[in-house]
Amino acid sequence: MTRLFNDPAAFADELREGFIDANGDLVRGVTGGVVRSTVSRPGSSAVVIGGGSGHYPAFAGLVGPGLASGAAMGNLFASPSAHQVESVGRAADHGGGVLLTCGNYAGDVLNFTAAAEAMRADGIDVRTLWVTDDISSAPASERSKRRGIAGGLVVYKVAGALAEEGAALADVVAAASHANDRTRTLGVAFSGCTFPGASEPLFTVPEGRMAVGMGIHGEPGISETDVPTADGLARMLVEALLGELPDDVPEARGQRALVILNGLGTVKYEEMFVVYRSVARLLAEAGVEVAFSEVGEFCTSFDMAGLSLTITWLDEGLERLWAAPAVTPSFRTGSLEVEPLSDEELAQADEAATAIPPASAESRDAAATVLASLRAAKDVIDANADELGRMDAVAGDGDHGIGMQRGVHAAVDAAEDAVARGAGAGTTLGMAADAWSDRAGGTSGVLWGLLLRTLAQTVGDEERPDTTTVVSGVAAAEQRLRETGGASVGDKTMVDAIVPFAGVLDQRQGDGLAVAWAAAADAATEAAAATADLVPHLGRSRAHGEKSLGTADPGAHSFALIVTAVAAVLEEGN
């Protein structure tokens, strides 16, 4: 919904003023809209676009060198008047004539046509062109009846680029018309949009449903379905667009294309990238070469939830004009020299350190114990994940169980891979550490990653790790954890469990690793239980609120669970 406005009746005027305030380096206000505030080539032809407001960056956001010369700005979803279009057209004219172009809507066509007539009456050379890229709005046999949606960007960009080169108006119109013929769009919507001050949306889509082909002002679509997966939506859009190639494009395979995935308002970038991932794969399967891709917001429908996919089937001319430099408030391209890496440099860069370093037979033996310990840790965390979540939910965000599961599962997978490839104990621990912290997220992921990585450094890939090595590794890890987390014993964190664990392990090391470890695990278990009585850690601010009293710390508890499980593995190994 729209929350920020003053007088709703003044909204369109005020957004135009604010837009000009923010972009004075590129545009200046004239009656009915904006024109460039930058120097244009005398005698060059002008490209004037426009339509209702509420579609930003269409249309005013596309005014600047290399793109539009001016934009007429109507009220919300309402065509600018003929007088407004004429005013912008006259201000944009540099003596080379004017192309007035907009989407194919009754009101816009009426007003742009009337403006063209008024200007022609004064001897100005004016041509008009209506964008018709929306394949859902009329059958292919009646393309001239289709609406114009996000594909307008391509038409305006091609026209603007050619005008910038100083081409004659007739050539600009021909190129724009060709771009329109080669451009197809299909959109979907999940919700309507709400105007400033309105209590109801302008139109609605039932919850969980998707309107296919719905227009950018809520014009009815051609069908309605349940909301598909991102992959399912990508397939639907790609199949529809591949199903209607332009007459002069015999087949998609081998054809170069410009692809635009356009957000209509409240479908956000992250969702669009997930959809685009599938679009790219499907086009590659179909043999289409994507020469340019744009994922973002180019023609919105205020705060409507929805998106559209546009394909322009390129030829050499269109490719050159799309790539040409443009600088506008919302769209900039092709202006800084960008040098891609060579294949050789890429290969070199990709040769990451994925090789397994050589290891002694003793260390490879010990790696098997590391793996068994991690598997035991996985089992005990799986068995206690719900309880850990409940403990965390009392005071935190309740994701400790899930995070630990993600981390320990990834660590076991990585350790299995390492052992299968002949890694020693140190490398196995190190790969498990990276996998754990990569996948777990949250503070527990950081701390377990640090703990295992510190152990890995002490253990190495040469010697069989003896009791002394393990004890000093645990001591180093304990110290590292305290330094990194900034917490002390009594702060109600994992530190409360690892400190007594490391202490007892050190004291009892004369009894051999298995016995010492078991005693240390008992100490950790006792200490973890005792955290229930402590005042919470009041160090660094936490995003989701401070912990409260009365529950044991889940981080200390899961540490105790794991070292106890590992004690059983070491006992068995004896």
Q: How far apart are CA 196 and CA 8, in angstroms?
A: 5
Q: Beta strand pairing status for 289-296 and 256-263?
A: parallel
124 three-state secondary structure: coil
List beta partners, residue 522. none
DSSP three-state, residue 129: strand
> Among residues 87 and 427, whose Cβ is nearest to its own copies?
87
Structure tokens at 110: 């009426």
Q: Is-catalytic flag, 55?
A: no
The residues, ordered by sequence, that sit 6+ positions from 211 with a Cβ below 8 Å of its Cβ are 188, 189, 190, 205, 220, 221, 223, 224, 306
How many residues does the structure list for the chain? 574
Shortest Å distance, C-beta 514 to its own copies: 31
**Is residue 515 helix, strand or coil?**
helix
C-alpha 179/C-alpha 181 separation (Å) is 5
Residue 543 in the binding site for its own copies (CB under 8 A): yes
User: Binding segment for its own copies among 32-40, 240-248, 365-373, 525-533 (CB under 8 A)?
Assistant: 32-40
Sequence-distant (≥ 6) Cβ neighbours of residue 118 within 8 angstroms = 82, 86
Q: Which residues pair with 196 in a beta bridge?
A: none
**CB of 197 or CB of 573, closer to its own copies:** 197
One residue of 47, 71, 82, 560 binding its own copies per CB under 8 A: 82
Among 178, 217, 400, 557, the active-site one is: 217
How do 70-76 and 209-212 pair as beta strands? unpaired
Q: How many residues bind its own copies (CB under 8 A)?
A: 127
Q: Of 174-182, 302-310, 461-469, 554-562, which part binds its own copies (CB under 8 A)?
A: 302-310
Footprint of its own copies on 317-376 (CB under 8 A): 325-327, 330, 332-333, 335-336, 338-341, 345-346, 349, 352
Question: Which neighbouring-strand residues pair with 223?
Answer: 212
Of 36-75, binders to its own copies (CB under 8 A) are 37-39, 53-54, 56-57, 61, 64-66, 74-75
Residues 244-263 touching its own copies, rule: CB under 8 A, are 261
Structure tokens at 119: 């200007």
383 near its own copies, judged by CB under 8 A: no
Q: Which range binds its own copies by CB under 8 A, 441-449, 462-470, 491-499, 552-560?
A: 441-449
Binding flag, residue 120, its own copies (CB under 8 A)? no
Candidate residues 360, 443, 472, 479; the one interacting with its own copies per rule CB under 8 A = 443
Interface mask (CB under 8 A) for its own copies, residues 483-522, using x and -? -xx-------------------------------------
Dihedral sign computed on CA atoms, order 109, 111, 114, 118: negative
Nearest to 258 by CA among 233, 295, 286: 295
Contacts to its own copies from residues 164-223, by CB under 8 A: 190, 196, 215, 217-220
Which lies closer to its own copies via its Cβ, residue 338 or residue 355? 338
Instruction: Single out the residue of 27, 32, 163, 451 in contact with its own copies (rule: CB under 8 A).
Output: 32
Residues assigned a catalytic role: 217
